[in-house]
Chains A and B, each alone.
Chain A
Amino acid sequence: MHQDAASPTTEGGQRERTDIPPRVLLDWRAARIFAEKNLMISLRYPANIIVWGVVPILWLAPYVLMMTALSGSAGTIRFQELSGFDDFVKFAIVGWFVYQYVDNAIWSIGNNFRWEQFSGTLEPLFVAPVSRVSILLGAAISDTVFTTLSAVVLLGTSCVLFGVSYSFVMVAPVILTLLLMLFALFGFGFMVAGLILVFKDPSVLTQLVDTVAFTVTPVNYPVQALPPYARFLAYLVPATIAMEVIRHLLIDAYIEMSVFLTSIMFLLLLLVGFWVVGLAAFRYAERWTKERGSMGGF
């Protein structure tokens, strides 16, 4: 409900602006404004953008080269049996393409908050009448723009360098799957932002989560290669389902409708779960910080 006590006039005839904005969980406009600001600042460091366009291919190359040196680009029969795909290079490139977004979702919101803390701008943001979720999401969106740039460069250069190609006839389901995965992981980012409010620098914990996620998700090998207990953990990370679905869409250009819909439902469930836990953790952390008066500290 928007209470609009617009501009009453005091005895002296002075104007007063007392518009009270509606209390909303998420204000897309504010998120967009925040993201635009971040993009504007990022563009003031053009060298970083160029470097981040190139670095992911340097991460991927050693895995591809090692695997092709051991068993050729198709991989071993064992790999084909486990993964259901007959080309390791194609398999790994999709894994790395999707993991760019996972990496971004895990780090971006927290890093943005940390940067605002260092800049001294976190308190002014918290004094502004916008929902916290909008700020968190704005931070995530701006980094997602750069990640998309980096991931597309990775996909393009990998195709050229390693001589592979993909089918792009099912782009819409790929984007839907990526978006659901991303938004689910943003929930984790909210939790990291909360940790940053409390602990100021939880980068070690974030690195641990990132490394565990990289290990259990099927970036370079199928989930079936993991020990059984680790497979369960893998399916708690939204990236696992996303990678499996996107591989089918980009490599086979086909996925059974029932499998696709089940995957989407599962991603939606994870999204709700991650957001509930992430937002609750962030709210708790915000209150904890306000009680101790340590919001602006770093």
Chain B
Amino acid sequence: MHDMAIEIRNLSKRFISTKRRAIVFPVERKAVDALRSVNLDIPRGRVYGLLGPNGAGKTTLIKILATLVIPTSGTATIMGHDVLSDSSAVRAIIGVCQGNERSIYWKLSARENLVFFGRLYRLTKTEAKERADELLGQMGLLDKADEKVENLSHGMRMKIVFARALLHDPPVLLLDEPTQGLDPTFATDLRRHVQKELRDKTILLTTHYMHEADMLCDKIALINDGEIKSVGTPHELKEEVRDYDSIHIIMRGVPDMTRIRALEEVLSASVTEQDGGAELVVTARNGYDLARRVLNLLHDTPGVRVERFEVKEPTLDDVFLKLTGRRIED
């Protein structure tokens, strides 16, 4: 039995996009490195997070493991089966959930969808029906089992997409942004399901929600521009910014960011405008000391009135910022 459920060695993927401005012009080729020499070892029974902003390469990695994309170089194996040369074996032992509510048949009911896919995964009709009902029950959708998918809410559809990945009880799950766009209740339901029901599975979870990665993952790989920047437990990663604090200030008006960023020891500063006001987040060493200076500066800025402020422990986003110079949710 393989100790590692997923082994990835020097995996790279280069996409070549072509564009022709007009029929008489030559084709312009542009190379985009979606993955650059990625190495990962994921032990059995672990929840492994892949955290990074949009376009970081998370989905490309999932698609390579799901045998939907061929890598440019390198190898990847799942339970010892190579994703290229043994792709049919790989497909039998993985469950894939992509955060796309359109990946099920809207004209079929929830149960019909699950029974159809279950049978494709070699369950008998009776087994598929039983399994579909079991999963719909776990998802709290049994009363909607015979409802056509087109009549269900976005959250319910995503739960069906999620349930489909579990139909054949695969040992490895590839979850690509499973909670993206879900309202908080549905997202919490799915996260709880992962925590309670799927602890025996090896899960590779991609997300750009830090709290999701923090909550679910035993280990996290931070990925940016196709490169793995750091790997560790959430605690180990946060140790990298142990000396930093994150100052959150809610205010009316808009701050002068140039002056704030010019302050000494500021690692980063970002502002999110909201309803005539803004939320300013400043990450820096000695947060309390810096908070005083930032508040003084805001006090002197015309039109700005601070409503409340908080100094928080650093988050994975701060780790990411330190490593890459950008925020995950940018």
A residues with a Cβ closer than 8 A to B are 3, 8, 10, 12, 14-21, 23, 30, 33-34, 37, 40-41, 44, 119-121, 123-131, 287, 290-293, 295-296
Can you name 15 A-B pairs with beta carbons within 8 Å? A10-B44, A14-B45, A16-B169, A19-B92, A19-B122, A20-B89, A37-B116, A124-B98, A124-B117, A125-B120, A127-B66, A128-B91, A129-B89, A129-B92, A129-B121
Is B70 located at the chain interface by the 8 A CB criterion? yes
Tell me if A290 and B70 are in contact (CB < 8 A): yes
Please name the residue on chain B nearest to A42 by beta carbon. B107
In the complex, the 5 A-B pairs of residues with the closest C-beta atoms, listed nearest first: A14-B200, A120-B102, A129-B92, A129-B91, A16-B171
What sequence of 0s and 1s flags, for each residue 21-58 of chain B, a beta carbon within 8 Å of any chain A beta carbon?
00000000000001000000000110000000000000
Alpha-carbon distance A70/B305, docked complex (angstroms): 92
CB neighbours of A14 from chain B (8 A):
45, 200
Knowing A10-B200, A290-B69, A291-B70, the reply to whether A123 touches B103 (Cβ < 8 A) is: yes
Once the chains bind, are A128 and B105 in contact (CB under 8 Å)?
no
B109 (CB) vs chain A CBs: closest residue = A40
Chain B residues at the A interface, C-beta cutoff of 8 Å = 1, 13, 15-16, 34, 44-45, 60, 63, 66-70, 79, 88-89, 91-94, 96, 98, 100, 102-108, 112, 116-117, 119-122, 164, 168-171, 200
Q: How far is the CA of A123 from the CA of B106 in the complex (A)?
A: 16
A123 to B68, CA, bound (A): 7
B129 to A: closest C-beta gap in Å: 13
Given A124-B103, A126-B68: A33 in contact with B170 (beta carbons within 8 A) = no
Q: Which residues of B contact A19 (CB under 8 A)?
A: 92, 122
B294 to A: closest C-beta gap in Å: 44
Q: Which residue of the partner chain, among B44, B96, B100, B108, contacts A127 with CB atoms under 8 Å?
A: B96
For the complex formed, measure the closest distance between the CB of A25 and the CB atoms of chain B, giving whole angstroms: 11
- Beyond A37-B105, A127-B67, A129-B92, 8 extra complex contacts between A and B, CB < 8 Å: A10-B200, A12-B200, A20-B92, A40-B112, A120-B103, A121-B105, A127-B66, A127-B91
| A21-B122 in contact (CB<8A) | yes
Checking B104, B107, B120 against A128 with a beta-carbon cut-off of 8 angstroms, the contacting residue is B120
Instruction: Kindly provide the distance from the CB of B281 to the nearest chain A CB, expressed in whole angstroms.
Output: 34
Contact A41 B108 (CB under 8 A): yes
Partner of B92, one of A12, A21, A131: A21
Residue of A nearest to B18 (CB): A292
Highest count of chain B CB atoms <10 Å: which of A18, A19, A130: A18
Q: How far is the CA of A290 from the CA of B44 in the complex (A)?
A: 28
Instruction: Check A128–B68 contact: CB distance below 8 A.
Output: no
A12-B43 Cα distance, complex, nearest whole Å = 14
In the complex, A130 Cα to B119 Cα: how many Å? Answer: 10
Give the residues in chain B near A127, CB-CB below 8 Å. Answer: 66-68, 91, 94, 96
Residues of A near B63 (CB, < 8 A) are 293
Q: How far is the CA of A124 from the CA of B93 in the complex (A)?
A: 14
Question: Which of the residues A41, A124, A296 comes within 8 Å of B107, measured between beta carbons?
Answer: A41
Q: Enumerate chain A residues within 8 angstroms of B70, measured Cβ to Cβ.
A: 287, 290-291
* Alpha-carbon distance between A125 and B104 when the two chains are bound, in angstroms: 10
- Cβ contacts under 8 Å, A119 to chain B: 102, 105-106
Residue of B nearest to A13 (CB): B200
Say whether A17 contacts B169, CB under 8 Å: yes
Q: Which residues of B contact A15 (CB under 8 A)?
A: 169, 200
Query: Are A37 and B108 neighbours in the complex by a CB distance under 8 Å?
Result: yes
Contacts of B91 in A (CB 8 A): 127-129
Task: Report the bound CA distance from A126 to B88 in whole Å.
Answer: 10
Chain A min CB distance to B92 (Å)? 4
Min CB gap A245→B, angstroms? 37
* Chain B residues in 8 Å Cβ range of A8: 1
When distances are taken between beta carbons in the complex, the residues of chain B under 8 Å from A126 are 67-68
Task: State which of B13, B45, B164 has its C-beta within 8 Å of the C-beta of A12.
Answer: B45
- Nearest residue, chain A, Cβ from B90: A129
When the two chains form their complex, are residues B105 and A18 in contact, meaning their CB atoms are under 8 A apart? no
Q: B108 — which chain A residues lie within 8 A by C-beta?
A: 37, 40-41
Write the nearest CB–CB distance from B102 to chain A, whole angstroms.
3
Distance of A10 Cα from B66 Cα, bound (Å): 23
CA distance A129 to B15 in the complex (A): 26
Which residue among A3, A126, A129 has the maximum number of chain B CB atoms within 10 Å of its CB? A129
